[in-house]
Structure 1
């Protein structure tokens, strides 16, 4: 039986790129079950692609094959790889930082460079700008359909060679929780941090208690204010800020029925730091 095949990209759905990837996969095996993680990653945003894999992957059955194509370096010397995770999932992607969150939070047990002489869509050798179709969708479909094995993808690489984006781990020191704004809950503008619920518990904060939240962009203080720690948005008045635990068991910051990110012009990544102390 084939494994689920899940696509992620920054292509959007305004043209035929995603459909072409579906077509290639179906050309390998029409019985494949193909799904979309998202195709709305902001263009060239490798960091968000990395996070969305982490957000999703553990909810899929073992053996599932993911394709992630956010590839501003397409056609360059960057590697095309298949990674096997400690959770027994596979990710087909350019090795450009897309594996950062998975490598740190779940673990990668093996990584192989795709041998393009063996694993490339036939008659596509003159194309250098659509590896999502010609290499990743084709290889992933062959892997998901059991046409090839992981060992025949290509040569094995050292795990230390995996490209990783700069990353700031969360910590608790001297009564202050420190971390970064990992990603936005895009539709609602909530801030998802990399500070775990367990670290918040170590700080000694309980539901209904107050914390002081400070957010810096580089060395500039963008926001600083006290807010409540709620179980859900309903624990606060409409228009007021709160922290809560998101679906990945991490601390998040929100305004009840408004966009925190839009109101305070907050973005994501290692340059966006958050500090939390007991109120």
Structure 2
């Protein structure tokens, strides 16, 4: 018996998530079911992918995740289960949701769900709620041990799993650059794809100042100097800071404020950020 963890863009305003819980309960009434989040912005596959890489590694080996952000529901996109290098299982449409897991964690095996076996009974004429009829049902069966890994369906090459476009972080001279991948939603911090290890090449110590430039396509929306801090406590309330987030990547924030809201910053591969050591200012 392994935990089942659910993620979706359904929200909690109606009964969609509760229906998924009900399906899992129907498979095994002693199954432990948890929520990752159901507040993924509608149709935002990129954020679904990021929330998985943020979370999966902290759950025990064998844990089963169901991620349903599925704008192509009812189309010919595949329904799959992926097994990560850490021994976790992710049940999801093959639409890019596994981008970060595939790139940063690794997928060692994958199977297409055999819907002739792994589909909620009497749901065969429904084509719009695969989260309930296929993913929650299959995930619950796998987590509870009703089926084994081999019974999910036929194997596929993990290399064939769909990935979203990604822009890698780079070091160019005295500047590291990358993208703003996602927001720390509640607090409005900007989480970048620049790893601490790449930033370390600039030899910038905590307490020193950095110059941050943020642009969207060709337009610069923010350029300023801030402290590279260990934590929010190292700067005054309302002061911006650069820090290392829980994924060991660079992040930008305002202490007790929302950087994203203050400067109207978004996320995705078109949102670029660069960091360099702040130039020394000399006053006559």
Normalising to structure 2: TM-score of the pair? 0.97
Alpha-carbon distance, 1:160 to partner: 2.1
Which residue in the other structure is 1:198 paired with?
Answer: 197
The answer as to 2:164 corresponding to 1:157 is: no
Which residue in the other structure is 2:213 paired with?
Answer: 214
Alpha-carbon distance, 1:233 to partner: 1.1
Which residue in the other structure is 1:3 paired with?
Answer: 2
What does 1:255-266 correspond to in 2, within 5 Å?
Answer: 255-266=254-265
Which residue in the other structure is 1:245 paired with?
Answer: 244
Counterpart-to-counterpart distance in 1, 2:115 and 2:102 = 24
Which residue in the other structure is 2:145 paired with?
Answer: 146
Give runs of ≥4 in structure 1 deviating > 2 Å.
Answer: none
Greater Cα offset, 46-55 or 238-247? 238-247
Which residue in the other structure is 1:36 paired with?
Answer: 35
Counterpart-to-counterpart distance in 1, 2:194 and 2:158 = 26
Alpha-carbon distance, 1:248 to partner: 1.2
Q: Cα deviations across residues 26-84 of structure 1 (Å, max 9, x unaligned)?
A: 11100100000000000000000000000000100000000000001100111000000
The answer as to 2:15 corresponding to 1:16 is: yes
Give aligned pairs, total: 278
Secondary structure at the counterpart of residue 62 of structure 1? coil
Which residue in the other structure is 2:179 paired with?
Answer: 180
Counterpart-to-counterpart distance in 2, 1:39 and 1:144 = 20
Which residue in the other structure is 2:282 paired with?
Answer: none
Which residue in the other structure is 1:81 paired with?
Answer: 80
Counterpart-to-counterpart distance in 2, 1:62 and 1:203 = 36
Which residue in the other structure is 2:269 paired with?
Answer: 270
